[in-house]
């Protein structure tokens, strides 16, 4: 066992050991309450801009002492992930493909971060008698980005990500609250400056100001919902099956940054950019077998299948009409049938019109009937 002469020394040793623990960046934050953040979260809620997936208790999100007995510091970690796929399969007529956001490539990042935090806990426990910690990954109450900013991992960017000077924003964040009085790091001094590229590029105007996200307008959130998506968003979703990377892809700080050293996080191209037609027929068990290890599976298969139907509509590929018509005819989920009606209305052609007319005769659900009516009206308008 190493004799600890000072907390500074332990921190330096921990930083030196990070790489061999599979951690790309590590920093320390004071465990004080996040007072400014709380004010921002209250405002965010009042404006109706939450996604609904967050921890509801704002005190828990901003006060480490409510989560851990006598917290002394928070250790923040970052793990860099790939932004590019080697040899991505082509999306071609008859064989159209969707895309998962980079954060869903490879093994579920929760699993990878938990593994790294567990290794770090073991490393610290071997050196400090009485060491206590509570590790958190995304689903924990604390706001990862606020902790990472305070711990000097990166700056809080206008696109709401944390940008690290070394790895760009292609990083997963995790943290642990500890009883170790480690000296805190300083926040990084870089910033977005005059750049507004992400705000300008966001397809839905979800970045309502620098670092302000209206989650209800963010495609990343919309792709994870389970209901019928509004027409505006269906068009803007494009071929995204899960998440959206646009505001990170356009960021100049990410230019040329692609990280391939974490083996579990590398994408399987057939999963990250999958064929759309086979997805439509996938049962629950097959979905779990194929996607169960990806973070994209957390909401089940319905959102991804619905998004696949949307993507086929956006491709306007008439080869896909029989498969989409089959969803409209046989899928037991009204959300899928309504989406299929929209998709057929986008694709058009005689076969799509026939499928919609047949469905109009048989469909019992009001929302699906409404979608069929709109799709037929659009197609008939087009012909007129």
Rule CB under 6 A: which residues touch ligand SF4?
Answer: 157-159, 192, 195-198, 202-204, 206-207, 213, 218-220, 244, 246-247, 250-253
Name the catalytic one among 32, 59, 108, 138.
138
For residue 173, say whether it is annotated as part of any ligand binding site. yes
Q: What is the DSSP letter of 36?
A: H
Nearer to ligand SF4, 57 or 190 (CB): 190
**Nearest distance from residue 202's CB to ligand SF4, in Å?**
3
Contact 46, 77 (CB under 8 A): no
Nearer to ligand SF4, 157 or 325 (CB): 157
* CA distance readout (Å), 220 to 47, 194, 258: 19, 25, 21
User: 80 phi and psi, to 5 degrees?
Assistant: -85, 140
Q: Is 138 one of the annotated active-site residues of the chain?
A: yes
Contact 8, 181 (CB under 8 A): no
For residue 302, say whether it is annotated as part of any ligand binding site. yes
For residue 160, say whether it is annotated as part of any ligand binding site. no
**Nearest distance from residue 24's CB to ligand SF4, in Å?**
19
**Rounded Cα–Cα distance for residues 174 and 117 (Å):** 8
Contact 190, 165 (CB under 8 A): yes
**Rounded Cα–Cα distance for residues 248 and 159 (Å):** 7
Nearer to ligand SF4, 204 or 367 (CB): 204
**Nearest distance from residue 160's CB to ligand SF4, in Å?**
7
For residue 97, say whether it is annotated as part of any ligand binding site. no
**Nearest distance from residue 254's CB to ligand SF4, in Å?**
7
User: 107 phi and psi, to 5 degrees?
Assistant: -70, 140
For residue 202, say whether it is annotated as part of any ligand binding site. yes
Three-class SS state of 74: strand
138: left (phi over 0), alpha (psi -120 to 50) or beta: left
* CA distance readout (Å), 37 to 27, 131, 192: 19, 28, 19
**Nearest distance from residue 374's CB to ligand SF4, in Å?**
24
**Rounded Cα–Cα distance for residues 366 and 301 (Å):** 24
Burial class (CB in 10 A: 0-12, 13-18, 19+), 307: buried
For residue 295, say whether it is annotated as part of any ligand binding site. no
Nearer to ligand SF4, 72 or 204 (CB): 204
Nearer to ligand SF4, 34 or 155 (CB): 155
Active site residues: 138
Binding residues for [4Fe-4S] cluster: 192, 195, 198, 202, 218, 244, 247, 251
Binding residues: 61, 138, 156, 159, 162, 173, 192, 195, 198, 202, 218, 220, 224, 226, 244-245, 247, 251, 284-285, 299, 302
């Amino acid at each position: 066992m190493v004799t600890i002469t000072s907390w500074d020394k332990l921190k330096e040793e921990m930083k030196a050991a990070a790489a061999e623990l599979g951690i790309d960046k590590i920093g320390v934050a004071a465990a004080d309450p996040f007072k400014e953040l709380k004010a921002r979260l209250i405002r965010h809620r009042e404006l109706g801009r939450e996604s609904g997936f967050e921890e509801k208790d704002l005190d828990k999100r901003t006060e480490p002492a409510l989560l851990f007995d006598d917290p002394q510091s928070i250790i923040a970690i970052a793990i860099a992930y790939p932004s590019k796929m080697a040899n991505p399969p082509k999306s071609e007529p008859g064989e159209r493909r969707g895309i998962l956001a980079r954060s869903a490539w490879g093994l579920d990042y929760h699993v990878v971060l938990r593994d790294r935090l567990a290794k770090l806990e073991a490393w610290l426990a071997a050196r400090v008698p009485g060491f206590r910690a509570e590790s958190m990954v995304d689903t924990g109450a604390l706001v990862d980005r606020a902790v990472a900013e305070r711990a000097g991992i990166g700056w809080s960017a206008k696109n709401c990500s944390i940008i690290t000077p070394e790895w760009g924003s292609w990083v997963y964040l995790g943290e642990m609250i500890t009883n170790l009085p480690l000296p805190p790091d300083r926040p990084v001094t870089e910033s977005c400056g005059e750049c507004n590229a992400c705000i300008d590029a966001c397809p839905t105007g979800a970045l309502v100001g620098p670092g302000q996200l209206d989650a209800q307008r963010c495609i990343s959130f919309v792709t994870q919902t389970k209901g019928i998506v509004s027409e505006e968003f269906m068009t803007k979703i494009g071929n995204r099956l899960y998440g959206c990377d646009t505001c990170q892809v356009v960021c100049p700080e990410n230019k040329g940054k692609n990280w391939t050293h974490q083996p579990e996080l590398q994408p399987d191209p057939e999963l990250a950019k999958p064929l759309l037609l086979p997805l439509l027929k996938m049962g629950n068990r097959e979905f779990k077998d194929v996607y169960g290890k990806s973070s994209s599976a957390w909401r089940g298969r319905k959102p991804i299948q619905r998004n696949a139907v949307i993507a086929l509509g956006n491709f306007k590929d008439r080869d896909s009409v029989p498969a989409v018509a089959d969803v409209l005819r046989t899928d037991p989920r009204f959300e899928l049938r309504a989406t299929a009606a929209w998709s057929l209305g986008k694709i058009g052609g005689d076969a799509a019109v026939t499928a919609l007319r047949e469905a109009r005769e048989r469909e019992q659900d009001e929302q699906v009937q409404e979608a069929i009516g709109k799709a037929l009206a659009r197609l008939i308008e087009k012909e007129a």
